[in-house]
Amino acid sequence: MSDPLPKTNRPTREEAEDAIRTMLRWAGEDPEREGLHDTPARVARAYEEFFQGYEIDPKTLLERTFSEVEGYDEIVLLRDIRFESHCEHHLAPIIGRAHVAYLPRQRVVGISKLARVVDAYARRMQIQERLTAQIANTINDVLQPHGTAVIIESSHECMTTRGVHRPGVSMVTSQMLGVFRTSSDTRRELMAMLNRPAASEY
Ligand SMILES: [Zn+2]
């Protein structure tokens, strides 16, 4: 994916609100009626929140690492990272969970940073395959671990509330890099870790 448009090339907030007014009229509404009067401003603010990821360079989130790990050299897995995204085809929500693992090469990163990398890419217009690959590639490029694995399970509202109307369907994608790709033992170990009860269930 290309980098986000520079801010100078983007429409103004006012133009964005006008566009939302157009959509309201197109759907059959009167944007001037009381209940809708502030809607364009609210939708614009919601967009800022939904698509905040364009303002973040995910690589910078992983710059601070720790090396005092007493020789820890096994898999680090952060699982069940809830995220919200939007599909780029319908701008409908994608709600899901990401599991992110890496096998460190001496240095580890704060675990909250992994969740922030997920958010930085989720808060963009996405398809799940790319979201999965971007998270994995960024962790792999910046931390240069022995391997990186990202598994995402999600529900796409463009499938549940429109089109084929199939609630309950989930989509699962995974991107395995380094040893997670080349070693079936390491992959099996990851799967065993994923299948353990969650800490919240202890
Ligand atoms: Zn869609």
Which residues participate in catalysis according to the annotation?
87-90, 128, 156, 158
Mean pLDDT of 193-202: 82
Q: What is the pLDDT of residue 76?
A: 96
What domains does the chain contain, in order, with CATH numbers?
A: 7-50 (1.10.286.10), 61-197 (3.30.1130.10)
Categorize the per-residue pLDDT at 9 as very low, low, confident or very high, splitting at 50, 70 and 90: confident
| Cβ-contact 173, 155 below 8 angstroms | no
pLDDT at 103 over 80: yes
Q: What is the pLDDT of residue 160?
A: 87
Ligand 1 centroid, distance to 47 Cα (angstroms): 17
Ligand 1 centroid, distance to 87 Cα (angstroms): 5
CA distances from 33 to 10, 30, 82 (A): 29, 6, 37
Q: What is the pLDDT of residue 2?
A: 57
Question: Angle 111-122/128-143 helices, nearest 10 degrees?
Answer: 140
Least trusted range by pLDDT, from 35-44, 95-104, 149-158, 192-201: 192-201
How many Å apart are CA 126 and CA 51, to the nearest integer?
10
Ligand 1 centroid, distance to 156 Cα (angstroms): 7
Mean pLDDT of 44-53: 97
Mean residue pLDDT of the chain comes to 94
Known binding residues for Zn(2+) are 87, 90, 158
Residues 6 or more apart in contact with residue 75 via CB below 8 angstroms: 101, 102, 103, 186, 189, 190, 193
pLDDT at 110 over 90: yes
Ligand 1 centroid, distance to 108 Cα (angstroms): 35
Known binding residues are 87, 90, 158
How many Å apart are CA 16 and CA 18, to the nearest integer?
5
For residue 191, give the H/E element and its range: helix 184-195
pLDDT in tens, 19-30: 999 999 999 999
Residues 6 or more apart in contact with residue 6 via CB below 8 angstroms: none
Categorize the per-residue pLDDT at 200 as very low, low, confident or very high, splitting at 50, 70 and 90: confident
Mean pLDDT of 117-123: 98
Residue carrying the six token digits 């890099």: 177
Q: SS3 for 202?
A: coil
